[in-house]
Amino acid sequence: MEFTSEHRLDDGVLERDFTLGEIPGVLWTPGSAPNPAPLILTGHNGSLHKREPRLVARARH
């Protein structure tokens, strides 16, 4: 896995783009996450954008 960019969102969430081989993804880490934070994987089945508002909302809560 290679991280390609990262930035902190307004609510403190760290958003990092990555690639795993040829597969792109986004890793969101809450600003107040326990260490280590649990990891939840979701897919968007190719028809949605990886930053679809519903997926982002799930990652932030």
Spatial neighbors of 30 by CB under 8 A, at least 6 apart, are 12, 13, 37, 60
Residue 6, pLDDT score: 93
| Predicted confidence band of residue 12 (pLDDT cuts 50, 70, 90) | confident
Q: Which residue has the higher pLDDT, 47 or 53?
A: 53
Q: Given this model, what pLDDT does residue 44 score?
A: 56
Question: Which of the four pLDDT bands, split at 50, 70 and 90, describes residue 11?
Answer: confident
- Sign for the CA dihedral angle at 41, 46, 52, 54 comes to negative
Token pair belonging to 49: 């954008």
14-42 pLDDT, tens digit each: 888 898 888 888 888 877 766 776 666 66
Separation between Cα atoms, residue 10 and residue 3, nearest integer Å: 21
